[in-house]
Structure 1
Amino acid sequence: MANKNPRVDGILNYSKAKTEKSIKKVNTALNHMIKKQLKINFNSVAEEARVSKSFIYKNPELRSRIEALREQQEGLSSPKEIKRNTSENSKDVIIASLRNRVKRLEKENKEIKEQLKVQFGKIYKEI
């Protein structure tokens, strides 16, 4: 006695609701990643949204959006590159300031030695 007219409306409705919820999670994750300037690719989006990569690949709208965002990011510097460049620049500034300080201290040291010679000369004359 098989049911010749099965009721699958509930299952279909649940499936649609679950898909819509997952799409919303992916869009929220994408917005968050854009604000935080995180690297956008299928793996990172799937991880951020806690959905499977296959879900993203199967959904043409999500797939095209991620591909477009990924292409936009190719020309941009990643936060790691920016930090590395900043640290290189700051290192150069630090080196330059230290060199200036060494020159200034050497000049000061030379002046103090000259003053010391003069003082020793005065003391020697008094003896």
Structure 2
Amino acid sequence: MADLITWGDFGKVDLRVGTILEVMDFPKARKPAYQLCIDFGELGVLKSSAQITVHYKKENLVGRQIIAVVNFPKKQIADFMSECLVTGFPDENGDIVLSSIERQVPNGTKLM
């Protein structure tokens, strides 16, 4: 089990729902990944690199809502600037399964 955090610690993590608008291959990434453009409503469109190529095809990701941390600093990955962190869980082989929501909500909705 990880160290206990306070409600204040948790409140610092800005988890939002966004809809994937565009998915591109990312051949320069060290591990297989896609480049995603994600609409977070009033927060705008943010980009992310996601190592989700095992379980997801590009054409099945467009229009899908995901959960992402939107208040990390930007991170350069090869020649790409990632602006948010898409969340997921590793399966038994370590391949990422996306976190998802039960039903659609407006883009930019914050996890409560």
TM-score category of the 2 structures, normalised to the smaller one: under 0.3
Structure with higher helix content: 1
Select the structure with the greater relative contact order (CA < 8 A; seq sep ≥ 6): 2
- Name whichever structure is richer in strand by fraction: 2
The TM-score with structure 1 as length reference comes to 0.21
